[in-house]
Amino acid sequence: MVNAVRRIFPRFLTMRILSLASAREMFGDGYREGYTDFEWAEVQRKFPAPAIKTDTVEGWNWWELDASTAPRADIDALRLAAAFLAHWDNKSSNQRLVCLDGNRRVPTDQAYVACARPLLMIQDLGATFGPEKVNLGRWRDLPVWEDRRTCTISMKTLPYEGATFRTVRISEEARLQLAGRLAALDDGQIRELFARARFPEFYSGTDDGRDLEAWTAAFKSRVDQIAGTQCPPTSSTAVLPSRP
């Protein structure tokens, strides 16, 4: 479908320009007697908040979370969610920083506008549920914890050796926060998540990746790894030194 869109869009744009110039009938469009069926179609609704970025920097790196003033439990819960998903392709452009103050434009006479309500998020999960990408067997068998006893998580064994994601110890408060939210999903909701994301039609990996029941079971097994652990009563501390 992507290739079809690439072929059609330039023609569509050309015909739109010709229509605005009242010259479309001179050239014709070539589609009056034909049509194109698209088996899959989707509409992406972007998060309704302006991005905080510069001409050279977009998004955020995971090691930058060490400097965040957000509650440590929230930061750690986000880190644990990334480990749960195996979000190994975590370069800065795959994360997004936005401002919830409103859709304000930056005045032309100012270098920046202070944001009172910033929000960071993961905006691209295209290489998760693997590695590499959607692969049931590898995602199911990948441990959530590097060291379950100390609640340490890491992505060192994944592609790019973790990229911007640092090895950290997760606090008990953060573990409980994420475990509670994940455990609230029932089998039907989990199955629907995978079905709507077209997992049965995604032919990467092995044939068992087309089985919704197997994906649901793998999801629940990874939730159990988080819910069935108790983290030691220590604050979250990074195991590796901060990057420059």
In the chain, the percentage of residues whose pLDDT exceeds 90 is 51
Mean pLDDT of 70-94: 96
- 233 has pLDDT over 60: yes
Tokens 């097994």 sit on residue: 221
Confidence of residue 84 (pLDDT cuts 50, 70, 90): very high
Domains annotated for the chain, with CATH where assigned, are 1-41 (no CATH), 47-227 (1.10.1070)
pLDDT for 109 equals 54
Confidence of residue 1 (pLDDT cuts 50, 70, 90): very low
pLDDT for 8 equals 44
Of 98, 93, 54, 60, nearest to 79 (Cα)?
A: 60
Quote the CA–CA distance of 151 and 143 in Å, as a whole number. Answer: 12
Quote the CA–CA distance of 192 and 200 in Å, as a whole number. Answer: 11
Confidence of residue 5 (pLDDT cuts 50, 70, 90): very low
In tens, the pLDDT along 134-156 reads: 888 899 999 999 999 999 999 99
List of E strands, the chain: 95-99, 118-122, 152-153, 168-169
Tokens 């990334």 sit on residue: 82
pLDDT for 208 equals 60
SS3 80: helix
**pTM for this structure?**
0.78
